[in-house]
Amino acid sequence: MSVEIEIQNFISQVQNRIKMENAFEKVIEDRKLDKNTWDVAAKRRIGKIVEEIFKQCFLAEANENAKKHYQIYIEGGEKLPEWWTKRYLLFGSGVYPDIGVLVPKLEKRIAIELDHSQGIPGSKFKIALAKAAFGYLSHEWDYCYVLFHNRSGKPMAQYLEGEVEKEILNRYKMLQTRILIFE
């Protein structure tokens, strides 16, 4: 199986599980219960799903020696792994996604950004895309994904139909950056 297919399989499973569990709506519930920020609640709930799928996709068949080289880090977790701390400082600061995945078998690093919008989603959407693209452009991450929860009540499709928007999203494919929208 090719690298792209393995990574796409991993992300597809994450996407399907988030939809199946209605995980982003549960992030909102968690936030209300715990009085945490959306970011903290999302990293906990979505991070757990990503970690479980990561183990299924990449660790199930790996031998014990290889397993210690596969790593996932969720921002705000305990100790930063060494591969995460030695980052290039792009414009003076590191490129730290919400979730970082190291897959040595594929020799790839995957960055996952979590973001959301309650109002008109355009501004938050553009910022999320930019953060993910900087991950790829910095040469720190091989693949970047944005998991974007649109809570505006206005479907994102209407904001993505313009010619310029289509061209921009096409260019992001060259940057190994994808955005997955959850509404």
Residues 6+ apart with CB under 8 A from 87: 94, 95, 96, 140
- pLDDT, residue 66, reads 62
How big, in percent rounded to 5, are the helix, strand and coil portions of the chain?
50, 20, 30
C-alpha distances in Å from residue 13, one per residue of 34, 50, 64, 66: 27, 9, 24, 22
**Rounded-to-integer distance, Cα 9 and Cα 58, Å:** 11
pLDDT tens track of the chain, all 183 residues?
677 888 999 999 999 999 999 999 999 999 989 888 999 999 999 999 999 999 898 877 766 666 666 788 898 877 777 766 666 777 877 778 899 998 877 788 999 999 998 887 778 888 888 888 888 888 888 999 999 999 988 888 888 889 999 999 888 888 888 889 999
Where exactly are the structural domains of the chain?
Answer: 3-182
- Read off the tokens for 48: 């757990």
- Rounded CA gap, 23 and 65, in Å? 33
Q: Which CATH architecture has domain 3-182?
A: 3-Layer(aba) Sandwich (3.40)
Predicted local confidence at residue 118, as pLDDT: 84
d(Cα 113, Cα 53) in Å, to the nearest integer?
A: 16
Task: Identify the burial level of 24 via C-beta atoms within 10 angstroms of its C-beta, where 0-12 means exposed, 13-18 middle and 19 or more buried.
Answer: buried
> How many residues make up the chain in this entry?
183
Residue type, 162: G
